[in-house]
Structure 1
Amino acid sequence: MNLNYRHLYYFWVVAREGGFSKAADRLDMAVQTVSAQVRELESKLGQQLLKPSGRGVVLSEAGQTAFRRAEEIFQLGSTLIEELAKVGAQAVLRFSLGLPDGVSKLAVHRLLEPVLQLPHLRLLCHEGEFDPLIGELAMHQLDAVIASQPAPANPNLRLFSQKIASSQIHWYGPESLLGQLKPEQRAFPLCLQHLPVLLPTTHTPLRHALDRWFETEHLHVHITGEFEDSALMSLFAMQGMGVFPVSALGAEDLKALPGLHCLGTTQLGEDLYLINTRRARQHPAVLLILHPSESTTSHQDRPTQD
């Protein structure tokens, strides 16, 4: 037997109010409608729940049992509404972000600082190859992608790209290595020829730019490691594995790593783009990345946007 909880609710109100007339006023319904609903409940249960008493009604023995259970049920319902209201007030704000291999995670961390101020944020960072991440974005499985290149020119994808960062490349290294250089070897960038070098992997735009820069400067460097993750590269550098390049934006986070010093600055720049769909353009996190001045956090090195 399936219980009709609407009928049970009408019975509960009648019992609490002591009569059909008062219950009908509270429910803003006709007395006949309320009475009919309660009679259907009694018919379904096979028990008389209410007995006439003067101008009102009283509970029968079966009605008293039904009323106690109804009290429990609807008090639980009231508690559920209150709890759900609290959950709604603290709803989690999900932000799914794609980060292609090779993009500077240190720079991305700086760019996301305004986003981290959002209440109840749940940040989901997905790393992978550029093309698969763009495909996930187009299928609305991601809210945005931060990459070192704009989205491909494909009208079927309906993606929007906006440059959000452009900063010079600095070189950093640990004191344990720099202290081994002779005075005549310390000049930048020639010092790179006398030091072990850590670089981004070969499929990244920054690596291509660095390789061209080495050729232009006639530098022959000894590469001891290649990394897709700039943060991981900086940790290996801190342990003395080599010196490494990092964007000025990402260099701010290096202050938390002891023993790393700046060797010099190049004229190379690293560009970062925010790629998203029309649907995600109003996401609070996307808006803060595009307009960081609207948050409580600001960056002096933050570039102008295209």
Structure 2
Amino acid sequence: MKTSGINFRHLYFFRVVAAEGSVTRAAERLGLAIQTVSAQLSALEQSVGKQLLTQQGRRLVPTEAGRVALTYAEQIFELGDRMQEALNEADAGRTRLTVGISDSLPKLIAYRLLRAAFDMKVPVKLICVEREFESLLADLALHKLDVVLTDRSVRASASLRVYNHLLGESEMMLFGRPDLVDRHGGDFPRNLHHAPMLLPTRNNALRGRIDEWLLKHDVRPDVVGEFEDNAMLTTFARDGLGLFFAPAGLAADIEAQFGAVPAGAATELREQFYAISSERRIKHPAVEAIMAANTGLFTV
């Protein structure tokens, strides 16, 4: 059945009725007559050719079609709010940049990558969202994010059209509090046998390469903690609870922030950093600035 197009005012009324569970309460919230809200809801159902709400006890609840429509309605109005915020920022002479940061990406790396955005001539309002990688990709596909910064590439598919932009890579080093490094000194990396170690969890892109490196050198450390969130891992490392891997290019920052010093270089072990976008060609000026400033920055 071909529809005559969605009236977004009708869709907004449907969203409010679904949230309130009652036409009466929705009318009170909107400051309109009950008959007006009811008529708008009926017009939407007629337009889409589906019943969207049904009575369940004393409440109106979405039908199966209504749940689908409500999912899209939430996305539509969230994008509308973002558009208004972006327009307000434009009026204020600012560029709005919404970035997803994978929870496995070292925060010092994220800062280094994003710092270039503040060197633009046009002021930038930066909004950072940190979540699991898959959740960020979903938001990127829905255009809730301008770009995702992460430590892994992603394969595009028919249902997920995204593009990888390699920003750089760094060899890894093992770090720890000076007393811990001294306690496990000796012939690196054999001196790591039974040494306490803090590692990312196995769903982290780097973990498999770390395990291979340890196996190659016949090293069996005492893994005292595994973390999905890199910030939590470094918090434990700050207290000297274990050695941890980090990009060699951050050695000075790691010593300054966490009081940790290098225990040895894992030269065969490298970590890569990516910007993931929903477009093959980056068009957002702030993302372009990040790409231009950071490509190859961490290659060592």
Superposed, which structure 2 residues align to 1:182-201 within 5 Å? 185-201=185-201
**Could you state the TM-score of these two structures normalised by the residue count of structure 1?**
0.62
Out of 133, 141, 161, the residue aligned to residue 158 of structure 1 is: 161
Question: Could you tell me which residue of structure 2 aligns to residue 292 of structure 1?
Answer: 293
**Is the 1:137–1:276 Cα contact (8 Å) retained in structure 2?**
yes
* Aligned-partner SS, 2:165: strand
Residue 140 of structure 2 corresponds to residue 144 of structure 1? no
Residue 130 of structure 2 corresponds to residue 127 of structure 1? yes
Amino acid at match of 1:136: D
Unaligned runs of 5+ in 2: 1-87
* Aligned-partner SS, 1:114: helix
Note the aligned Cα RMSD (angstroms): 2.7
For residue 120 of structure 1, report the CA deviation from its aligned partner: 3.4
Question: Could you tell me which residue of structure 2 aligns to residue 45 of structure 1?
Answer: none
* Aligned-partner SS, 1:113: helix
Question: Could you tell me which residue of structure 2 aligns to residue 95 of structure 1?
Answer: 97
Write the distance in 2 (CA, Å) between the matches of 1:156 and 1:261. Answer: 44
CA deviation profile, 1:90-146 (whole Å, cap 9, x unmatched):
433221111223222222222222123345322222222222211210110100011
Amino acid at match of 2:99: L
Q: How many residues align?
A: 211
* Aligned-partner SS, 1:257: helix
Superposed, which structure 2 residues align to 1:228-267 within 5 Å? 228-257=228-257, 259-266=259-266, 267=268
Amino acid at match of 2:136: L
CA deviation profile, 1:37-75 (whole Å, cap 9, x unmatched):
xxxxxxxxxxxxxxxxxxxxxxxxxxxxxxxxxxxxxxx
For residue 217 of structure 1, report the CA deviation from its aligned partner: 0.9
**Could you state the TM-score of these two structures normalised by the residue count of structure 2?**
0.63
* Aligned-partner SS, 2:218: coil
- Closer, same or farther in 2 for the Cα pair 1:186/1:170, shift >3 Å? same
Amino acid at match of 1:171: L
**Is the 2:255–2:261 Cα contact (8 Å) retained in structure 1?**
no
Out of 182, 197, 202, the residue aligned to residue 179 of structure 1 is: 182
**Is the 1:167–1:269 Cα contact (8 Å) retained in structure 2?**
yes
Write the distance in 2 (CA, Å) between the matches of 1:169 and 1:103. Answer: 14
Structure number with larger C-alpha Rg: 1
For residue 285 of structure 1, report the CA deviation from its aligned partner: 2.0
Amino acid at match of 2:285: P
Write the distance in 1 (CA, Å) between the matches of 2:236 and 2:215. Answer: 25
Out of 83, 104, 108, the residue aligned to residue 106 of structure 1 is: 108
**Is the 1:165–1:302 Cα contact (8 Å) retained in structure 2?**
yes
Write the distance in 1 (CA, Å) between the matches of 2:89 and 2:198. Answer: 47
Amino acid at match of 1:93: T
Question: Which range moved further: 279-288 or 109-118?
Answer: 279-288
**Is the 2:117–2:290 Cα contact (8 Å) retained in structure 1?**
yes
